[in-house]
Amino acid sequence: MPSDRLDRIRLANDVPSHVAVIMDGNGRWACDRGLPRHLGHREGMKSVREAIEGAVDSGVNILTLFAFSTENWSRPAQEVSALMVLLQLYAKKEGTELRRQGVEVHVLGDLERIDGPTRSAVDAIVSKTRGGTALRLNLMISYGGREEILRAARILADRVAQGSLSVEDIDEDELAGALFTPGVPDPDLLIRTSGEYRISNFMLWQLAYTELYITDVLWPDFDREHLFDAILNFQRRERRFGRVASE
């Protein structure tokens, strides 16, 4: 049955090109039900599918999901291990369907830190979906915004030391090109679930003028209708990028 929200999105004809999501609330969802935290993460996989399909339906070009942060490495080893297994499961289970839907997967972050089986699984889903044109899906794994900027600074410093770049030529474009997202437009809309009002070290450079949408919905309960609500809210806003609004 067609969604009334989706119809209104299409009528407005002002869809955010790039939507980023901080998927928060898996652990709380599980604890509220007396379940172990890893079952909340497993349930959240269904919401990933909902968000992807909703993004395709509404005409979003890029969907970026914060899947695993650098800070998550400090969680109990059992939970980290369960998250890595879930990443492997997701990559193996969803690759064929994502390719069918025309979704091209990119996995971005400090991938040197993840274990061999997980790295092989994410490499496989990237390879399997390469060339998809309906949606670019960025999965941010072992990612932190401050670490990303430090990494970019080191890359630029190394180029200066080698003589391929002068200090005077370092500008916003050069720094942006050294991030994990070179050539990717900044997010137009950031959605955070679970009602927390913070960005948690996520895409600190790229979110400079991104519109924020906070929902109390826990990630495992998030579906495409919630995504449509966020897009409809975005469509009602006036984006000024620091400029004075026109009269």
Q: 39-61: string of b/e by CB count within 10 Å (b at 16+)?
A: bbbbbbbebbbbbbbbbbbbbbb
Q: Which of 4, 13, 14, 24 is catalytic?
A: 24
- Amino acid (1-letter code) at residue 159: R
SS3 103: strand
CA angle 14, 212, 38 (to 5 degrees): 115
Count of CB atoms within 10 A of residue 246's CB? 6
Q: Is 7 among the catalytic positions?
A: no
- CA separation for the pair 63, 185 (Å, rounded): 11
From 14, 26, 57, 72, the catalytic residue: 72
Catalytic, 201? Answer no
Helix or strand holding residue 21 (H, E)? strand 18-22
Residues with catalytic roles: 24, 72
